[in-house]
Amino acid sequence: MMKDSRQNKWRKQAPDIFWACMVTIIVGAFALGKTVGENGLTFAYIEKKLTSPLWQDAFAEENTSDPVGMGGNAEENQQTEPTTLEKKDEAEKIDEAKTEQLNGKQTEEKKKTERKEDIGVTKFDKYTPVKINSPYYSDRGKTPLTTEYKYSKKTGKSYFNDAMFIGDSRMVAFYDYLDLKDTADFYCQDGYALYDWVRGKSILCKNTNRAENLNQVLQNKKYGKVYIMLGMNDLGYGNTAIFRKRMDSLIEEIKKTQPNAVIYLMGMLHFSKGRSDSSDVYNNININDKNVELAKAADGKQVFYIDVNPLFTDEKGYLKEGLSADGCHMYGVYYEKWYKYLKEHVVVKKQEKNAGER
């Protein structure tokens, strides 16, 4: 009786067991077929499947890593589509690049504006040149003008408190005829030339009446501005290219030792007609050739070209009659006019803008 009861019980449960087995087989076959189709069948894979729950593989996400032992490349199976965070980072990088580009353009425009406003420009008057047969110079067909700049015109004697004047006999006249002896330092003497400086020849300090090495002076004392008037005695020492090279060397030495100083290159004053026309070397065409190179050396930022020839020459460019006894050096009374012109053409730094006549 007990045996019949058990048999009846199994008969009743058989359909449920049958269908449970069928579902298990179908689900297992689905999971197995899916993975085998993708990766191939290995012993390690079968072992893993037999020891892990079937539902785990049946309902796994499509973008899983490669199962152990299936021989797949895990890096190749990872997501290839950028995530939301990656897209956001990329967008931010693009925005930053655009902003940087815009800022760059704005900065460049600002620099251009600053260049127009704060950098001096040196221009030239042109004329018809004449043919010159000389190893020293040529007729350039142009004369340089004072560097155009927003100069201060309210400068007094105090502006020259930290000034240095370097030059020849014409600069000596500045020391002799102007009231700057107790204000500026004058390193000048008759006959001095760039030719002398490049060879290390000492120069006279008019303030102390002692000969000194110019390079050592520049190294030992700081100046706010340096005025240079050299070249007349170089007219016969080499050609214009050599003159320019020597002047460039002096400018670089001053820039190196006086990085904050404003450098003024003062053009050579022309000769009178009688003096100019009587020499193949010491004449206005040669002077003009050298002055053109002086003007070209002015960068309008730290170096400026100053030319006073329009104040003292006639319509043909000769030093006016009656201004000089020798056709080269003006009478002392005229240097005050020259000095006034310098005071009207100064580059004033911010800390000096309030400096006036003392």
Structural domains of the chain, ranges and CATH numbers in brackets? 2-77 (no CATH), 111-352 (3.40.50.1110)
Torsion angles phi and psi, residue 222, rounded to 5: -100, 140
Q: How far is CA 149 from the centre of its chain?
A: 20
Q: Which residue has the tokens 């902003």?
A: 99
Rounded to an integer, what distance in angstroms lies between the CA atom of residue 319 and that of residue 309? 8
Sign of the alpha-carbon dihedral angle for 186, 191, 195, 199: negative
Residue 228, both tokens: 């240079």
Residues 6+ apart with CB under 8 A from 272: 318, 319, 320, 321, 323, 324, 327, 328
Strand 124-126 with 142-144, pairing: antiparallel
pLDDT tens string, the chain, 358 residues long: the values are 544 555 555 455 566 666 666 656 665 555 555 544 444 555 555 555 555 555 455 444 444 444 444 444 444 444 455 566 666 667 777 777 777 777 766 666 655 555 556 899 999 999 999 999 999 999 999 999 999 999 987 788 999 999 999 999 999 999 999 999 999 999 999 999 999 999 999 999 999 999 999 999 999 999 999 999 999 999 999 999 999 999 999 999 999 999 999 999 999 999 999 999 999 999 999 999 999 999 999 999 999 999 999 999 999 999 999 999 999 999 999 999 999 999 999 998 755 555 444 4
C-alpha distances in Å from residue 291, one per residue of 191, 264, 270: 18, 13, 10
Classify the phi-psi angles of 317: left when phi > 0, otherwise alpha if psi is within -120 to 50, otherwise beta.
left
Q: Which residue has the tokens 């001053």?
A: 254
Question: Considering only CA atoms, which of 342, 92, 135 is closest in space to residue 238?
Answer: 135
Question: Considering only CA atoms, which of 205, 298, 187 is closest in space to residue 248?
Answer: 298
Is the distance from CB of 48 to CB of 70 less than 8 angstroms? no
CB count in 10 Å sphere of residue 334: 17
Q: Which residue has the tokens 């002047």?
A: 247
Is the distance from CB of 142 to CB of 125 less than 8 angstroms? yes
- The burial of 84, by beta-carbon neighbours within 10 Å (0-12 exposed, 13-18 middle, 19 or more buried), is given as exposed
Q: How far is CA 145 from the centre of its chain?
A: 26
What single letter denotes the amino acid at residue 297?
Answer: A
Rounded to an integer, what distance in angstroms lies between the CA atom of residue 163 and that of residue 185? 6
Task: Give kind and range of the element (H or E) at residue 49.
Answer: helix 43-51
